Structure 1
Amino acid sequence: GDDLLLYFIEKGDTCAMTLSCCVKQGRSNIRAVAESDVELLMIPVSKMEDWMGKYRSWRAFILDSYHNRMQELLETVDTLAFMNMDERLLKYLRDKAMVNHDDVIHATHQEIAADLHTSRVVVSRLLKKMEREGKIDLQRSQIKVNSL
């Protein structure tokens, strides 16, 4: 039912949950959503295990990936626990702009609300406030982030 945005994955990154599921040969409880066109590389689990022992660079990549995702998960928990919704929304917009390398975000208020686990009305109200403060410019289904 309910979804919560955990983190963004950029070019060259991997998802720690995916790696964990591969090692356990289990099914994932998360879903990934592509923000743009994606080229995906899939590696057989048997190769992953073999490469961990054979290649230092592969092992470092996997361990760095776990570390980076854990840091992002801790940041997400911190954001949920200690930031007001307006701060969470601005952080979300900045993160999304950074990941997409574009200060214009193409999303509806409802899509943003779903990612932040709040209502569309709250998002719309806060976006209008941010526009008045000069932090963003609003247009239909797009938001330009002014303060990167």
Structure 2
Amino acid sequence: MIQDLKNNFGHLFEDSLLNEINQVGTYKDLPEGFKMMEIGDYVRSMPLLISGAIKILREDNDGDELLLYFLERGDTCAMTLTCCLGQTKSEIRAIAEKDTTLVMVPIEKMEQWSEKYKSWRKFVFESYYSRLNELFATIDSIAFLNMDERLLKYLQEKSRISETKTVYNTHQEIAYELHSSRVVISRLLKKLENLGKIELHRSYILLKNI
């Protein structure tokens, strides 16, 4: 585990902090689709991503989901940090977007390291800043972009995260994550296909000119 930590966080943390993370952290491999956190759960540890990606979702009163942002290699989750520090229940759902490896750090270490290591404090603040900007981007997308523009942006992000031109989400799954309906998403996907931007297949979507 120490080598993975050095490869992904060595440019951020000093060796003494990396060694402490190695001593107290729990190494986990999550398969694609694994739900690592549910809304209402108490947060006992925070994740440091070694590889893969995790999607962070919110849920409205009707049970519909909205994709907020993705966590990738070298990231942690600001909402998890907030819940850890406040010892409150999670307000987000976290699901592995693809096979993911991470290190879970006990919450009691967070305050200790904030006092002991300047690099840890900087990492936490920068993580808050990055996730806040991503939330702003999501809000801007909802407020200012048409659904077809949001869908196009969603497909581009999915392709970037998975490092492939193939998106395996169903029309219904895309509708959930964009807080829309399957009928609307299917219509807009067909429009993108007619424009030559994608190819629709039974179990996947092939991105061509986006």
TM range (shorter): over 0.9
Structure 2 distance, partners of 1:66, 1:103, is 30
Structure 2 distance, partners of 1:119, 1:87, is 15
Amino acid at match of 1:49: E
* Aligned match for 2:156, one of 68, 72, 94: 94
Deviation of 1:135 (Å)? 1.3
Structure 2 distance, partners of 1:125, 1:49, is 50
What does 1:1-148 correspond to in 2, within 5 Å? 1-148=63-210
Structure 2 distance, partners of 1:13, 1:93, is 21
Q: Which of the pair is proportionally richer in strand?
A: 2
Q: Is the 8 A contact 1:108 1:142 kept in 2?
A: yes
Deviation of 1:101 (Å)? 1.4
Q: What is the root-mean-square deviation of aligned Cα atoms in Å? A: 1.1
Q: Deviations over 1:15-71 (max 9, x none)?
A: 110010001111111101111111121111111111111112211211111111000
Amino acid at match of 2:179: H
Unaligned runs of 5+ in 1: none
TM-score of the pair, normalised by structure 1: 0.95
Higher relative contact order (CA 8 A, sep 6+): 1
**Runs of at least 4 residues off by over 3 Å:** none
Q: Which of the pair is proportionally richer in helix?
A: 1
Structure 2 distance, partners of 1:146, 1:70, is 31
Amino acid at match of 2:119: S
Q: Could you tell which deviates more after superposition, 33-42 or 70-79?
A: 33-42
SS in 2 for 1:34: strand
Unaligned runs of 5+ in 2: 1-62
SS in 2 for 1:42: strand
Amino acid at match of 2:175: A
**Identity of aligned pairs, percent?**
57
Q: Is the 8 A contact 1:109 1:141 kept in 2?
A: no
